């Protein structure tokens, strides 16, 4: 950008806006990362529950099959 013809006050204002935007972006990125980590954690918990349910059903099926065959 050609800064020769731009007044210093406008350059300072632009720099202030840029710094504020970077600060806001950093806050937003941190919040998104926090939410992402929470989603990952809750997803693991749901997945663990699903595997536990599946394991229970498989074991129940084995018991049913074994008792049926006896």
Q: List pLDDT tens digits, range 18-41.
A: 999 999 999 999 999 999 898 888
Cα dihedral sign, 24-26-28-34: negative
Find the largest Cα–Cα distance for the chain. Answer: 94
Mean pLDDT, range 48-54, rounded to an integer: 85
> What was the pLDDT predicted at 8?
92
Residue 3 has pLDDT above 60, yes or no: no
Say what the pLDDT of residue 27 is.
94
Read off the pTM. 0.52
pLDDT, averaged across the chain? 84
């Amino acid at each position: 950008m050609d800064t020769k013809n731009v007044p210093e006050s406008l350059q300072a204002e632009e720099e202030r806006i840029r710094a504020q935007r970077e600060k806001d972006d950093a806050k937003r990125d941190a919040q998104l990362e926090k939410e992402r980590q929470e989603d990952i954690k809750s997803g693991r918990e749901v997945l663990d529950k699903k595997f536990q349910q599946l394991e229970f059903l498989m074991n129940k099926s084995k018991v049913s099959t074994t008792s049926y065959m006896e």
